[in-house]
Structure 1
Amino acid sequence: MNTTNRADTPPDSLISRFEVTFGAAPDGVWAAPGRVNLIGEHTDYNQGFVLPFAIEKRARTAVRLRDDSTVRLLSTIGDQGLVEADAAALAPGAVTGWAKYPLGVVWALQQHGIKVPGFDLLLDSDVPLGAGLSSSHAIECALITALNELTGAGLSAEEMVMLTQRAENAFVGAPTGIMDQSASLRGASGHAVFLDCRDQAVQLVPFEAQEAGLVLLVIDTKVSHSHADGGYSSRRASCELGAQILGVSALRDVAVTDLQNARGLLDPTTFRRVHHIVTENDRVLQTVDTLRAHGAAHIGDLLDASHASMRDDFEISCPELNLAVDKARTNGAIGARMTGGGFGGSAIALTPVQDEQQVRDAVILAFAAAGFTRPEIFSVTPSAGAARTS
């Protein structure tokens, strides 16, 4: 999504605006969070491991079912205007702009055999757009949670994860995995979501930065990215090629000890892509073990190694992300990395509370000196997943 984010709208204000816009009260308001990925980048579509968590920033959807098949969508973000569509006539590739995310959910539900009537929807979100914090998945997860309740579909969280992935892959055209939806739908306060992307098994792992005297800062570089572009797709294609040559169903099945042999079988670029995925999976497992045994203060080196791998092996970083990570590390952060799909978006910096302001100031000054757009920096804590709020 490429629009400009706006300030948070309180739930009662969202309901009031819905009533003014559509002439009646909504059936309810449902919210779903964005996410930060602590570690485990591009491992999800390789059937590997990830460790994201839901954040406080959320997409909110006020929804009211209609008696016909007309869908009317309005966003408080930017100057989008009202979008109308026929729920019974949706097709991949036929919708552009922000509306493709909620309409993709409708299409995926219908493909699953769930009849979705028309509805009116008013969207508000304070998840930064294009920042690698999964603003689009927050919209999808808020709406599928609403429609699951309103239609009585009875879908499990796991089923909603797969349906929103289908909406992303087949309707939106973004070859994403299941990490973002899983964090948004299955997140819990105070915990990261340790997800096995092969079988959707989830374990909640305590991530108690505050108790360790730490804060997790998000540095939004303001370099917008899109999962539907060629960079993301080409990385996924390289991973699939590597798995094919190595004779495995997914790179999840390649161990760190297999890499030396893989080097002789793969061209240099494909090997670097494979090397990142295999070592990143191992870093996720190490991070989970470290958090459980020793706590958040001991994962800094793993965050640093993850960023180096994405920068050098997977080549998905950018000058702004590298500068954010470097300045955070040299000014007190115990670990930092880019987060999200790459080619822009945000970095995270795990920082002692007493060094927070120094890190913030140093990053902002460095961006100004480099002629980059001023970044937005804010802290996040693990929060609850998607739910009805009113």
Structure 2
Amino acid sequence: MTVDLGEYAGGDDEFFADPYPVYERLRAIGPVHHVRVPGSGGAYEAWLVVGHEAARAALTDSRLVKSPAALGYENLESSLIGPHLLTADAPEHGRLRKLVAREFTPRRIERLRPRVQKITDELLDAMVPRGRADLIEALAFPLPFVVICELLGVPDIDRVMFRRLSTQVVAPTGGEEEYAAFVELAGFLTELIAEKSRSTPGDDLLSALIRTTAEDGDRLSPTELRGMAFLLLVAGHETTVNLIGNGVRALLTHPDQLAALRADPSLLDGAVEEMLRYDGPVENSTYRWAAEAVDIGGTTVPAGDAVLVGLASAGRDGRRHAAPDDFDIRRESRGHLAFGHGPHFCLGAPLARLEGRTAIAALLERCPDLALDGEPDAWLPGLLIRGTRRLPVRW
């Protein structure tokens, strides 16, 4: 049986706005389902893993491959952008991750803390006197965008243009617009890397990736550099945009939890983990494909079929989290799968957490009577990124 997710929710828009009741119904039946995925580019089918334990196992199963080329499938992203961590399997994935991880270190991220705070303060200086704002436009997007651009050493670029292209990539509407977004991003990144290669090396991350060489002489090729720059630029800000947006929305719709956090700021770290579990920014993993017939949670996925691992659904699995639909910032939320699990665990998780904690702490301090200013609207389509295009707030 194939479940149409849109029909199950009463419509595609209803599903994008609140997929959790659908995931709950599916988990009650079993941990894995063959589904029809809604999307304006045309519905497509895949196996969706909705249970926590099955999801955790699937994320470490080497029979579920990330490279569509391994099965002879074409992939728009790989062909136009280049290989990166989310489109590679072992041993190539390990090679790429090692080359990037040697530069994307916890020490480098920790050095960003004062700069993240300064950017946050400057954005709030501009926002607070206005009394109301779209939080996505005023804080949630520009903070991680400026941070990742500075980290990579990307010169000032058109934020409106980049936001449009990035959103089209992570929440595609399909057709010519999606293709054009990849083409435009590929051209921008190719020129950026060429310029970086010609200029005097800086201390930014992209310059470091261009010149880094492993002990055996290995280094990233031009197409690998483009793929990694793409991943770091897009994933490096999209996750935090929606961590901040979804997290603030959860607080504002749960006034008891907001009051508890205001009364005891030491709860912030746990609150951010609960935000990630309760309504995290990555709804489902990027695609995997079964290299052979694979048993997942008692269901056989045929060779060649596509698989989505439900990170958001796993976070609401009552077998792993008691009262999973309750938002409780004192909950022990560690062990959630919001940043994945296993070899593809998000390399940028420490940066996203740093930015999320900094932004939310500063926002609550500067806006003591923060409230929603109408309903969030324009939920992002697709099953990858969970969030809204706008989040109107007032204070």
> Would you call these one fold, judging by a TM-score over 0.5?
no
The TM-score with structure 1 as length reference comes to 0.26
More strand by share: 1
The TM-score with structure 2 as length reference comes to 0.25
